[in-house]
Amino acid sequence: MFYTAQIAIALGYLHMKEIAHRDMKLENILIDQDGYLKIIDYGLAKMLGEDQEATSFCGTPEYLAPEMVTQSGHDKSVDWWALGVLVYEMLIGVTPFFNRNKNILLMKIKSGKVVFPDRKKYKIDYSDETMDLIIKLLDKDRSKRLGSKDDFVDILNHPALAKYAKDIKALENK
């Protein structure tokens, strides 16, 4: 969750500068010598003002938000969807809609449900709060997606990140 907070703060900073990254994935995150995350690869980033949308289809398929898949218009909230995919992947080890067949993958992104593996059976430790955070970030309705109202503040105020509140204040200065 500490990494999640760092990514949320970094994306929030980009969003304040009216930039949507549009290609958030594990491969585009580095860790510096002090253990802080850095977002890299701005090749697909786009300037998007408050009420602006883009209709381009770009990014890594596993991380695409439904509105990008349908090309119905997207805003900066595609980055919050990608954060949900990232958190799920960091916990579970695979993206939530994974499928080797790209067409099935895209169909699952548009209409599939987020399924969490059995914690006991697979010995994966995640809290109900973390599950809730992921589900809210992966809301297919971007107007209801966590982060759609107050951007990164929504994410940082989620109960899954509450125990990092003190560390989050320090992170904002990094």
Task: List, by residue number, the catalytic residues.
Answer: 23
Measured CA to CA, the distance from residue 18 to residue 76 in angstroms comes to 8
Q: Which two tokens stand for residue 23?
A: 């290609």
Query: What's the number of CA atoms in the CB half-sphere (13 Å) around residue 104?
Result: 6
Angle, CA of 137, 18 and 56, to the nearest 5°: 70
User: What b/e readout covers 88-120, taking b as 16+ CB neighbours within 10 angstroms?
Assistant: bbebbeebbbebeeeeebbebbeebebebeeee
d(CA 9, CA 14): 9
